[in-house]
Amino acid sequence: MRAVIQRVSEAICKVDDAITGEIGLGFLVLLGVEDTDTEEDTQWLAQKITGMRVFGDENGLMNKALADVDGKILLISQFTLFAQTKKGNRPSFIKAARPDKTHRDLGWV
């Protein structure tokens, strides 16, 4: 798995002008799933992301995690994080999980 994590004050995801997800303070996470990822990988990454102390405390230091600020996560699937671009001009996504790999496969249900 690969994740790009952005701390946000708010984030909105729209598909065809319809809002499919929105949050206030928290993380916008672009998540790429590899075909070999397991439920254990999912659990490790979830703990890593939620435990990141990147929110300011009363002294202005980044000492608070997501739960400390009642933050939320907007998670967006992003298979392009596994693009292989070394050869040619057409990226290969051979390492990315196939679209039919379900949430159930990764223990997300």
| Planar angle of CA 43, 49, 51, nearest 5 degrees | 100
Name the active-site residue from 50, 80, 85, 102.
80
Cα–Cα distance for residue pair 67/109, rounded to 1 Å: 21
80 is catalytic: yes
In angstroms, how far is the first alpha carbon of the chain from the final one? 18
The neighbouring-strand residues paired with 102 are none
The string over 83-99, giving b where at least 16 C-beta atoms fall within 10 Å of a residue's C-beta and e elsewhere, is eeeeeeeeeeeebbbee
* Active centre residues (catalytic): 80
